[in-house]
Amino acid sequence: MRILQLAAMGRLQLGWSDGSPLELKSGKAQALLCYLAVCKRPFSRPILSALLWGELPEADARRNLRGVALKLSRAVGDYLLSTHQTLAFNDGLAHEVDTAVFHSHLAAPPNRAALTQAIALYRGDFLDGFHIRQAPLFEEWVTQKQSELREAAIGALVKLIQIEMEEGAYKTAVKQTRHLLHLDPWREEGHRQLMTALTFDGQRSAALTHYAEFHTDLGVELEIEPDRETAVLHDKIRNNQLIPPAKSNINITNNNSTPFIAGPPITHPARFFGRERELRRLFNLFKRLPLQNAAIIGARRSGKTSLLHYLSRITTTPASECRAGQRTEWLPAPKRYRWIFIDFQDPRMGERENLLRHLLTKMEIPIPEPCNVEHFLEAVSDNLSRPTIILLDEIGVALDRCPTLDDPFWESLRSLATNQTSGQLAFVLSAHESPQKLAAHGGLGSPFFNIFGYTATLGQLTEPEARQLLAASPIPFAKDDVEWILKRSGRWPISLQLLGRERLLALEEGEQDESWKKEGIEQMEWQESR
Q: How far is residue 399 from each of residues 418, 432, 444, measured CA to CA in Å?
A: 21, 12, 8
For residues 308 and 413, state if they share a domain. yes
Within this chain, do residues 325 and 410 fall inside the same structural domain, yes or no?
A: yes
Asked whether residue 64 is assigned to any structural domain, the reply reads yes
Q: What is the pLDDT of residue 126?
A: 96
Contact present, 310 and 428 (Cβ < 8 Å): no
How many folded domains does the chain comprise? 4
Q: Which strand ranges, in their side-by-side order, compose the sheet holding 4-7?
A: 13-16, 4-7, 95-97
Q: What is the CATH number of the domain that holds 193?
A: 1.25.40.10
Residue range 63-92, pLDDT digits in tens: 999 999 999 999 999 999 999 999 999 988
Q: Are residues 298 and 383 in the same domain?
A: yes
* pLDDT at residue 319, rounded to an integer: 79
Whether residue 437 sits in one domain with residue 494: no
Q: Are residues 9 and 36 in the same domain?
A: yes
CA 359 to chain centre: 31
Q: Are 197 and 298 part of one and the same domain?
A: no
Q: Does the residue 162 lie in any domain?
A: no
- Which residues are bridge partners to 420 per DSSP? none
Lowest mean pLDDT among 200-214, 223-237, 250-264: 250-264
Domain boundary among 152, 181, 208: 152
Residue 455 pairs in a beta bridge with: 295
pLDDT, residue 529, reads: 66
pLDDT digits (tens, 9 = 90+) for 407-448: 888 888 888 888 888 899 999 999 888 877 776 755 555 677
Share of the chain above pLDDT 70, in %: 95
Let me know whether 403 and 293 are in one domain.
yes
Contact 268, 310 (CB under 8 A): no
Residues 75 and 144 in one domain: yes
- Per-residue pLDDT, averaged over 37-48, amounts to 94
**Which of 411, 428, 458 is the endpoint of a domain?**
458
Looking at 3-145, which runs of residues are DSSP E strands?
4-7, 13-16, 43-44, 80-82, 86-89, 95-97
**What DSSP character marks residue 21?**
B
Looking at residue 36, which CATH number applies to its domain?
A: 1.10.10.10
What's the confidence (pLDDT) of residue 443?
59
Rounded Cα distance between 478 and 363, Å, is: 49
DSSP string, 140-207: HHHHHHHHHHHHHHHHHHHHHHHHHHHHT-HHHHHHHHHHHHHH-TT-HHHHHHHHHHHHHTT-HHHH
195 and 59 in a common domain? no
Confidence of residue 296 (pLDDT cuts 50, 70, 90): very high
**CA-atom Rg of the chain in angstroms:** 28
Same domain for 357 and 416, yes or no, is yes
Looking at the structure, do residues 74 and 221 belong to the same domain, yes or no?
no
Please state whether beta strands 86-89 and 43-44 pair in parallel, antiparallel, or not at all (unpaired).
Answer: antiparallel
- Containing domain of residue 525, as a range? 463-529
Question: What CATH number should be reported for the domain holding residue 371?
Answer: 3.40.50.300
**394-416 mean pLDDT:** 84
Q: State whether 494 and 452 are in the same domain.
A: no
pLDDT at 215 over 60: yes
- Residue 249's pLDDT is what? 42
User: What was the pLDDT predicted at 321?
Assistant: 83
139-153 pLDDT, tens digit each = 999 999 999 999 999
